[in-house]
Amino acid sequence: MADVKWIKIAVDMFSSRKIKNIENMPDGDALLVIWFKLMCLAGTINDKGSIYITPSVPFEIDDLANELNKPVETVARALDIFEKFDMIETVDGIISLTSWEKYQNIDGLEKIRSQTNERVKRYREKQKLQHQAQDDIQIDPKSELRPCGKSMEVLLTEEQYMSLLAKMDIETLNYYCNRIEDCIVNKGYNIRSHYNTILKWWDEDRKA
């Protein structure tokens, strides 16, 4: 799903009985930071409040703690509390924020999804017309592509995306995707292999 750059926060959020209760708990501030980070992560994934690495790969507690930059014990405790308060639910290991429509403009998200699908369509048509050879993992025109970057101009197969995530965290991957977009949109570069370019930059930065 396409990531978004905003979530809705009500000005009276801290008047909520649940939030007040959590705030008064030991490490209440840390628990609330985790809650806000979970909302932001759900917004980035943009799949009806679900939180996962991919739809078929849920976050393990260690990975989620690393993603949220919080101790494993604190994250595990926070999840237990949030589930007890019906703020989240977990199905088959996938965490979902309940009442997600409270934090997102659903119509706005549908518009973003529609724009992303149109962008993917244009990309596939361009690839078909140009018959460009791929230097990395071959992309089946019928395979699912994952748009990445601020403008969703970087397209990777699920296999490529997972391969990159095995080497770097999400923030690092997003940095390279945005860097590719800057080269394409602002500098007019023709980058034939987004996947290989990200690997090249990551390897250069790692050796620097």
**Residue 139 has what pLDDT?**
47
Q: What 8-state DSSP symbol labels residue 2?
A: -
CA dist 150 and 81 (Å) reads 33
Q: Which of 67, 68, 54 is nearest to 161 (CA)?
A: 54
Residue with tokens 């071959």: 138
Q: What are the tens digits of pLDDT across the range 172-200?
A: 998 999 898 888 888 878 888 899 999 99
| String of DSSP letters for 145-208 | EEEESTTS-EEEEHHHHHHHHTTS-HHHHHHHHHHHHIIIIIT----S-HHHHHHHHHHHHHH-
Q: What pairs with residue 157 in β-bridges? A: 145
- What is the residue extent of each domain of the chain? 13-102, 106-207
Residue with tokens 């370019």: 197
State the distance between the two ends of the chain, measured CA to CA, in whole angstroms. 33
Instruction: State the pairing for strand pair 88-91/94-97.
Output: antiparallel
**Residue 132 has what pLDDT?**
47
What is the value of pTM for the model shown? 0.50
Q: What size, in residues, is the chain?
A: 208
**Residue 187 has what pLDDT?**
80
Report, as ranges of residue numbers, the positions in the chain whose pLDDT lies below 70: 1-8, 10-11, 102-144
From 3.30.300.20, 2.60.120.260, 1.10.10.10, 3.50.50.60, which CATH number describes the 13-102 domain?
A: 1.10.10.10
**Residue 142 has what pLDDT?**
45
